[in-house]
Amino acid sequence: MNFFLIAGEPSGDRLGAALMAGLKVLCPDARFHGVGGPMMQAEGLESLFPMEELSVMGLAEVVPKLRHLFALKRRVAEAVVAMRPDALITIDSPDFCLRVAKQVKAAAPEVLTIHYVAPSVWAWRPQRAEKMARHIDHVLALLPFEPPYMEAAGMTCDFVGHPVVSEPVATTDEAAAFRARHGIAPNAPLLLLLPGSRRSEVGRLAPIFGEVLSRLADRLPGLRAVLPTVPHVAEALRAQIADWPVAPVVLDPTEITDGFAVEKRAAFKAADVALAASGTVSLELAATGTPMVISYDMNRITWSIMRRKMRIDTVTLVNLVSETRAVPERLGPACTPETIAPEVERLLTDRAARAAQAQAMAVTMDRLGKDGEAPGLRAARSVLARIGG
Residue 298 above 80 pLDDT?
A: no
Residue 76 above 80 pLDDT?
A: yes
For 172-367, which CATH superfamily applies?
Glycogen Phosphorylase B; (3.40.50.2000)
The reported pLDDT for the residue numbered 63 is 57
Q: Where in the chain is the domain with CATH 3.40.50.2000?
A: 2-161+372-388, 172-367
Domain 2-161+372-388 has CATH 3.10.20.30: no
Which of 97-106, 168-177, 199-208, 317-326 shows the lowest mean pLDDT across its residues? 199-208
Task: Please list the alpha-helical segments (H only) found in 136-250.
Answer: 147-152, 172-181, 199-219, 231-241
- Residues with Cβ < 8 Å from 239, sequence gap 6 or more? none
Residue 65 above 90 pLDDT?
A: no
Task: Specify the pairing of strand 87-91 against strand 46-47.
Answer: unpaired
Residue 57 above 50 pLDDT?
A: no
What's the pTM value of the predicted model, to 2 decimals?
0.87
27-55 pLDDT, tens digit per residue, is 999 999 999 999 999 999 999 999 888 86
CB 387 within 8 A of CB 27: no
Task: Please list the alpha-helical segments (H only) found in the chain.
Answer: 10-26, 38-42, 59-62, 66-83, 94-107, 127-132, 147-152, 172-181, 199-219, 231-241, 260-270, 281-288, 300-309, 317-322, 337-349, 351-367, 375-388
Q: Rounded mean pLDDT of the chain?
A: 92
Higher pLDDT, 120 or 339: 339
Residue 371 above 70 pLDDT?
A: yes
Percent over 90 (pLDDT), the chain = 77
The reported pLDDT for the residue numbered 62 is 53
